[in-house]
């Protein structure tokens, strides 16, 4: 009997607490007593009669959250909380008692607990709800509350402490601040017992061949399987009696590939199912199966065993491929090759008699085994091993043998290393492969004594697959010739021509031997890739690098030039800068500490051209984020294969790259692209005319591909703009963001403070798929709306989210702005001010108060106030452009105060106030003074009887405008002789009794409070002389006017007197000297007589007396006063009347 005990530990602590007092049978357990919002880790111990096991591995941390809350938080974390708590006091709204929950059911029952689940009610009000769970024994109505103290939030609950074997019914009630709702419908009676049984054993175990080391096992699901976790598979070698597990974790499906099997052994398999209740019995053993590659899979060898045996030497090891397939080489006419001097540098390496060093290093013999001489066909065969079985290959070789021809002879045989009793040969593959791949080579040799060749002898009995071979048991210092024949499915081809003679002697030179197997691939119009293999003979020190030489095919030997200045560490080079259509040849030299060795054989001529239909390796990232390299070829022959390599070495490790070839397309898929995968990936198609391409993945490209992969695997919805907020005209708050594009299936979730909010009375939400606009509008921003707002977008697989934090001063500012905008909108529904009351100074230096109004009708009253006193009512307003004005002429201190305009009608009222006091008044007066100063006219010169006056006129004068005068850049000090003043609109400077010292430049300075304004006049030279002469004239005229004779007063203009009466008239005269006085009557001289007496006394008093007036005395009388300065006449008319005639 196996039982389980569960333990929990709060993250951040080390204290483990046991969750279940009694061990449970099932491998799952509902843990209660967690604190909401905290994270926990868990572990399990197993118990049987032998004791308690060690604890399991610790689980991943899990937060104790409601599933709905966890779902909202699953994508990205929200903005951090601020720690600020704002408490407001409001009248409580009337709550709604929630209705009963629905869909209550028992989802799990064991003898230890029962798990219930339900759905929230439809009637729930605007606040959150919680739940009380009740139970009763079936058949009774004695309901007992399970969670008596604290209601639960989640619609899922585990009930413990039930009596085993008894039947119970359950129901749930909802509650909120308004009260506890009605209960849900009770569940059916549930017996407290283990409901989940251990599954039955799976059936029909069927093994199928897969590869040389794996088998596919399938089975059928056990009957009445419930809540299966998966399956475990075991294997056993037939007859061993020992079973080994094939998987550590349960397999979900009913198919599994068992790897790591021994090729050729027979295995049997068995399977058992597992669920929370435990493991099933084992299934019946499968039929035995031998581990062999199946049709469509398995390990494929590049050559048939009967044709490609290995004969030791260089064929003992194949480490890398660095060349094109035989058919990749361009096929040239033999004569043409001879014309192009295809064979260069056929000299043998120096013999021991050349004295280039001491005896050879025997270690070079061991280096032979490290030479890289494998053919691309072998790599292609290995990469194709998963797509074609070995038996099928053998069949194809038999059926295609009649359709092929034997290959042409190999050529360019050269010695790669020579020791006392053996030599290593290298050669070039045949130009014509015979329509199928080369399966191997046969080497013959013969002795040459004094120039006479001997009999040919076989160097190898079994065909060798490589183009380098060590011939053993040769005689030291003997001269040999060699020939090589190639073989394919059609047979062995014609042997090559005998090589030139080579002497078998120990190489002792210090520099390395020549590289070999130099081939060209990826030929384009301006570039190609050159591959080679390292020398078999390395000299006396390790090879330090390689130099690549090139020249045009027709060029002379002296035109060889090195492509690279520094030695290359790799055995490949991409050569650029070629001329299109030009034929080139190449060679490679190895170097070590002793120097640079002899060059390799020259390559066959290669024309720089991009052939029609040439395709390149293309990188692709699919919708699942899988990164792959793809290559297509439409020039394949029936025997063509795709050969992939990394850094031009065969890809033998399929743990990082899987290759899939279908027809003319091949795909190399990265399993987990990383730094280990950096390099050049190339693909060659065998049995074609040089079809090849490559793709370089460096660190930058890797980062780009990984970023693109992540984007495809976890695509994001691109955003034009992040989440933003704005205030609308009516004071509504609009949250919005815009995506670049959205499909018709796009949707958005709106989250506030980590809780999803929905479209309703408060929130108006909209998603416009055409424009990509996602918005949410709130009617009013209240204090409880402070927090973090998040828009979560989902469009198919693509997701994205954007958040906006509105807390503290930012939220307060936005709330104030919204409130202000709402009030503004209500204000504008009636007559209102567009521009508040302000002022401007007119060109006449008057002050105009003005404001711009809108939504005015004839019934609207416009009233002006100053200091709360009505000053004007504009009842018939027909103003232009909606502007109200009040003109204040000659603005001064008396006009300071508070001005207000009120608009009102039946739709509402608005007012605008302007305070013209203190600083505001000073600012206005400064502007008035500035305008007055600007209105000042140029200074003018005026002569008076007292002296010379300088003056200027302004529109009007105010006391705040300060006036100063400067004479010759010196401030004038005012005296009784020189004074200034203002008369009306005239500002003047009076210079009495001017003297020559008063000549010069005079400046009037007007200061408006901020800036000075100047007016200047030059009072010197002719201007002064003319003014001074006029002053003298006016002064004399004033003196004459002052002293001339004149009648000061006393005489009336008309006298009416009765006849017989006495008339007495008197007046005062003045003059210096005293004037002469005479009288006229009716314009004729008149003197005293008996009836009329004329007197002149004290030089100033004049009297005129008629003792008895008669009608003859009527007439016009004139008094004439005269001195040297002038004469003045004063008239009086005397009218005499007779009483009776009245």
Report pLDDT digits (tens) over 746-772.
999 999 999 999 999 999 999 999 999
List strand residue ranges (DSSP E) for 747-896, in order: 747-752, 755-757, 763-768, 773-778, 787-795, 798-806, 832-841, 847-854, 861-866, 869-874, 883-888
Note whether residue 419 is domain-resident.
yes
In this predicted model, which residue has the larger pLDDT, 992 or 397? 992
**Pair 174, 130: CB distance under 8 Å:** yes
> Of 291, 320, 354, at which residue does a domain stop?
291
Q: Mean pLDDT across the stretch 418-424?
A: 91
**Most confident region among 293-302, 373-382, 1092-1101 by mean pLDDT:** 1092-1101
Which pLDDT score, from 0 to 100, does residue 1136 have? Answer: 87
Q: Mean pLDDT across the stretch 453-479?
A: 90
For residue 347, pLDDT over 60 is answered with no
Note whether residue 92 is domain-resident.
no
Q: Mean pLDDT across the stretch 253-257?
A: 91
CA atoms within 13 A on the CB side of 703: 2
> Of 170, 192, 214, at which residue does a domain stop?
192
| Pair 704, 625 in one domain | yes
**Pair 686, 514: CB distance under 8 Å:** no
Q: List the Cα angle 118/122/124 in 5-degree steps.
A: 100
| Pair 950, 1028 in one domain | yes
Which pLDDT score, from 0 to 100, does residue 93 have? Answer: 57
Closest by CA to 786, choosing from 86, 28, 190, is 86
In this predicted model, which residue has the larger pLDDT, 294 or 858? 858
Note whether residue 600 is domain-resident.
yes
Tell me the average pLDDT of the chain: 84
| Pair 492, 561 in one domain | no
pLDDT band at 329 (very low <50, low <70, confident <90, very high): very low
pLDDT band at 90 (very low <50, low <70, confident <90, very high): low
| Pair 910, 935 in one domain | no
Which pLDDT score, from 0 to 100, does residue 326 have? Answer: 32
How many structural domains are present in the chain?
Answer: 9
Q: What percent of the chain has pLDDT over 70?
A: 87
Which pLDDT score, from 0 to 100, does residue 535 have? Answer: 92
| Pair 791, 834 in one domain | no
- Cα–Cα distance between 507 and 356 in angstroms, integer? 9
> Of 458, 482, 504, at which residue does a domain stop?
504
pLDDT band at 687 (very low <50, low <70, confident <90, very high): confident
| Pair 233, 283 in one domain | yes
pLDDT band at 909 (very low <50, low <70, confident <90, very high): confident
Closest by CA to 734, choosing from 742, 725, 743, is 725
| Pair 739, 811 in one domain | yes
Q: Mean pLDDT across the stretch 491-499?
A: 90
User: Worst-scoring range by mean pLDDT, 24-38, 644-658, 697-711, 864-878?
Assistant: 864-878
**DSSP conformation letters of 809-844:** HHHHHHHHHHHHHHHHHHHTTSSEEEEEEEEEE-TT
Note whether residue 790 is domain-resident.
yes
Which pLDDT score, from 0 to 100, does residue 243 have? Answer: 93
Report pLDDT digits (tens) over 1094-1115.
888 888 888 889 888 888 888 9
Range of the domain at 546: 516-608
Note whether residue 390 is domain-resident.
no
Note whether residue 1112 is domain-resident.
no
Report pLDDT digits (tens) over 996-1032.
999 999 999 999 888 889 999 999 999 999 999 998 8
pLDDT band at 605 (very low <50, low <70, confident <90, very high): very high
pLDDT band at 986 (very low <50, low <70, confident <90, very high): very high
Report pLDDT digits (tens) over 731-740.
999 999 999 9
Closest by CA to 481, choosing from 507, 535, 443, is 443
Domain at 282, CATH number? 2.60.40.10
User: Worst-scoring range by mean pLDDT, 440-449, 717-726, 799-808, 1031-1040?
Assistant: 1031-1040
Q: What percent of the chain has pLDDT over 90?
A: 45
For residue 8, pLDDT over 80 is answered with yes
Report pLDDT digits (tens) over 839-883.
999 988 899 998 988 888 888 888 889 998 988 876 655 566 688
**Pair 425, 415: CB distance under 8 Å:** yes
DSSP 3-state assignment of 664?
Answer: coil
Block residue for tokens 């390292």: 534
Q: Mean pLDDT across the stretch 23-48?
A: 87
Which pLDDT score, from 0 to 100, does residue 94 have? Answer: 66
For residue 1067, pLDDT over 50 is answered with yes
For residue 368, pLDDT over 50 is answered with no
| Pair 556, 667 in one domain | no
Which pLDDT score, from 0 to 100, does residue 404 have? Answer: 62
Note whether residue 235 is domain-resident.
yes
Q: Mean pLDDT across the stretch 329-355?
A: 34
Q: Mean pLDDT across the stretch 564-573?
A: 93
Note whether residue 877 is domain-resident.
yes
Which pLDDT score, from 0 to 100, does residue 606 have? Answer: 93
Report pLDDT digits (tens) over 765-809.
999 999 999 999 999 899 999 999 999 999 988 899 999 999 999
| Pair 990, 963 in one domain | yes
For residue 26, pLDDT over 90 is answered with no
Q: Mean pLDDT across the stretch 426-435?
A: 86
| Pair 939, 1039 in one domain | yes
- Cα–Cα distance between 272 and 250 in angstroms, integer? 10
| Pair 55, 12 in one domain | yes
| Pair 161, 264 in one domain | no
- In angstroms, the Cα distances linking 712 to 670, 705, 706, 708 are 15, 10, 10, 6
């Amino acid at each position: 009997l196996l039982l389980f005990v569960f333990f929990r530990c709060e993250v951040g602590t080390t204290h483990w607490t046991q969750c279940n007092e009694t061990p449970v049978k099932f491998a799952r357990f509902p843990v209660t007593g967690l604190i909401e919002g905290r994270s926990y880790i868990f572990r399990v111990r197993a118990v049987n009669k032998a004791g308690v096991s060690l604890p399991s591995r610790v689980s991943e941390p899990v937060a104790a959250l409601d599933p709905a809350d966890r779902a909202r938080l699953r994508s990205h974390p929200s903005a951090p909380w601020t720690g600020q708590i704002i408490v407001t006091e409001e009248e409580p709204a009337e709550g709604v008692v929630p209705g009963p929950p629905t869909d209550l059911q028992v989802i799990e029952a064991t003898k230890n607990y029962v798990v219930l689940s339900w759905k929230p009610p439809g009637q729930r009000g605007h606040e959150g709800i919680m739940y009380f769970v009740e139970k009763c024994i079936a058949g009774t109505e004695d309901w007992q509350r399970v969670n008596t103290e604290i209601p639960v939030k989640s619609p899922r609950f585990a009930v413990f402490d039930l009596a085993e074997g008894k039947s119970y019914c359950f129901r749930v009630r909802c509650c909120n601040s308004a009260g506890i709702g009605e209960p849900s419908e009770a569940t059916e009676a549930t017996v407290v017992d283990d409901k989940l049984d251990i599954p039955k054993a799976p059936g029909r175990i069927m093994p199928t061949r897969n590869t040389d080391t794996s088998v596919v096992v399938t089975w059928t699901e056990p009957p009445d399987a419930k809540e299966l976790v998966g399956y475990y598979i075991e294997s056993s070698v037939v007859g061993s009696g020992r079973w080994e597990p094939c998987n550590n974790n349960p397999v979900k499906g009913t198919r599994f590939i068992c790897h790591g099997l021994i090729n050729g052994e027979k295995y049997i398999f068995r399977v058992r199912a597992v669920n929370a209740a435990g493991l099933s019995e084992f299934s019946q053993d499968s039929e035995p199966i031998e581990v062999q590659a199946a049709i469509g899979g398995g390990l494929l060898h590049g050559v048939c065993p009967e044709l490609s045996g290995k004969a030791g030497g260089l064929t003992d090891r194949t480490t890398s491929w660095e060349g094109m397939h035989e058919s990749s080489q361009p096929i040239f006419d033999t004569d043409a090759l001879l014309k192009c001097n295809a064979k260069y540098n056929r000299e043998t390496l120096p013999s021991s008699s050349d004295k280039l060093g001491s005896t050879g290093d025997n270690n070079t013999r061991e280096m032979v085994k490290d030479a890289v001489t494998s053919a691309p066909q072998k790599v292609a065969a290995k990469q194709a091993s998963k797509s074609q079985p070995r038996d099928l290959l053998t069949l194809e070789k038999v059926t295609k043998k009649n359709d092929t021809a034997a290959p042409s002879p190999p050529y360019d045989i050269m010695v790669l290393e020579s020791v006392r009793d053996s030599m290593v040969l290298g050669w070039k593959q045949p130009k014509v492969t015979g329509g199928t791949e080369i399966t191997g080579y046969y080497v013959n040799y013969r002795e040459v004594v004094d120039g006479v060749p001997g009999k040919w002898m076989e160097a190898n009995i079994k065909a060798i697959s490589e183009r380098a071979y060590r011939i053993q048991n040769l005689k030291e210092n003997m001269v040999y010739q060699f020939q090589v024949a190639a073989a394919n499915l059609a047979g062995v081809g014609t042997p090559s021509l005998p090589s030139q003679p080579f002497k078998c002697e120990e190489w002792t030179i210090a520099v390395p031997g020549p590289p070999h197997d130099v081939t060209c691939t990826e030929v384009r119009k301006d570039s190609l890739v050159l591959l080679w293999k390292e020398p078999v003979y390395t000299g006396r020190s390790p090879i330090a690098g390689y130099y690549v030489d090139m020249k045009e095919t027709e060029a002379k030997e002296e035109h060889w030039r090195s492509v690279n200045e520094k030695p290359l560490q790799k055995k490949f080079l991409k050569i650029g800068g070629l001329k299109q259509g030009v034929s080139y040849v190449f060679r490679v030299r190895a170097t070590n500490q002793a120097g640079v060795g002899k060059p390799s054989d020259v390559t066959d001529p290669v024309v720089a051209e991009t052939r029609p239909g040439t395709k390149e390796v293309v990188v692709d990232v699919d919708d699942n984020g899988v990164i792959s390299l793809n290559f297509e070829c439409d020039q394949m022959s029936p025997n063509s294969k795709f050969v992939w390599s990394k850094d031009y070495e065969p890809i033998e490790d399929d743990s990082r790259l899987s290759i899939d070839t279908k027809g003319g397309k091949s795909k190399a898929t990265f399993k987990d692209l990383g730094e280990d995968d950096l390099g050049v990936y190339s693909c060659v198609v065998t049995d074609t005319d040089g079809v090849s391409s490559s793709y370089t993945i460096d660190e930058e490209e890797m980062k780009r591909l990984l970023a693109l992969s992540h984007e495809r695997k976890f695509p994001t919805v691109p955003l034009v703009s992040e989440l933003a907020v704005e205030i609308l005209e009516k004071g509504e708050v609009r949250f919005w963001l815009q995506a670049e594009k959205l499909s018709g299936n796009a949707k958005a979730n709106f989250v506030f403070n980590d809780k999803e909010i929905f479209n309703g009375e408060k929130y108006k939400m909209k998603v416009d798929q055409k424009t990509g606009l996602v918005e949410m509008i709130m009617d009013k921003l209240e204090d409880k709306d402070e927090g973090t707002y998040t828009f979560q977008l989902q469009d198919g697989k693509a997701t994205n989210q954007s958040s906006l934090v509105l807390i503290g001063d930012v939220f307060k500012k936005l709330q104030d702005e919204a409130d202000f905008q709402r009030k503004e909108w209500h204000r504008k529904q009636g007559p209102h001010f567009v521009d508040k009351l302000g002022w401007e100074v007119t060109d006449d230096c008057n002050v105009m108060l003005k404001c711009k109004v809108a939504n005015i009708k004839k019934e609207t009253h416009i009233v002006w106030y100053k200091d709360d006193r009505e000053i004007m009512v504009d009842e018939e307003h027909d103003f232009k452009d909606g502007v109200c004005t009040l003109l204040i002429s000659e603005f001064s201190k008396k006009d300071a105060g508070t001005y207000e305009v009120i608009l009102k009608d039946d739709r509402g009222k608005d007012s605008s106030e302007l305070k013209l006091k203190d600083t505001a008044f000073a600012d206005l007066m400064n502007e008035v003074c500035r305008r007055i100063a600007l209105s000042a006219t140029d200074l003018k010169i005026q002569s008076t009887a007292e002296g010379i006056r300088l003056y200027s006129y302004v529109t009007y004068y105010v006391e705040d405008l300060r006036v100063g005068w400067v004479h010759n850049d010196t401030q004038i000090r005012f005296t009784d002789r020189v004074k200034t003043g203002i008369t009306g609109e005239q500002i003047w400077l009076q210079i009495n009794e001017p003297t020559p010292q008063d000549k010069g430049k005079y400046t009037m300075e007007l200061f408006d409070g901020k800036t000075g304004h100047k007016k200047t006049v030059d009072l010197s030279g002719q201007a002064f002389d003319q003014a001074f002469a006029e002053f003298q004239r006016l002064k004399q005229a004033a003196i004459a006017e002052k002293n001339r004779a004149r009648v000061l007063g006393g005489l009336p203009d008309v006298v009416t007197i009765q006849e017989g009466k006495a008339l007495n008239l008197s007046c005062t005269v003045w003059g210096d000297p005293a004037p002469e006085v005479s009288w006229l009557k009716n314009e004729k001289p008149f003197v005293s007589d008996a009836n009329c007496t004329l007197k002149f006394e004290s030089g100033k008093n004049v009297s005129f007396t008629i003792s008895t007036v008669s009608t003859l005395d009527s007439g016009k009388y004139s008094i004439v006063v005269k001195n040297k300065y002038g004469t003045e006449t004063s008239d009086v008319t005397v009218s005499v009347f007779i009483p009776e005639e009245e």
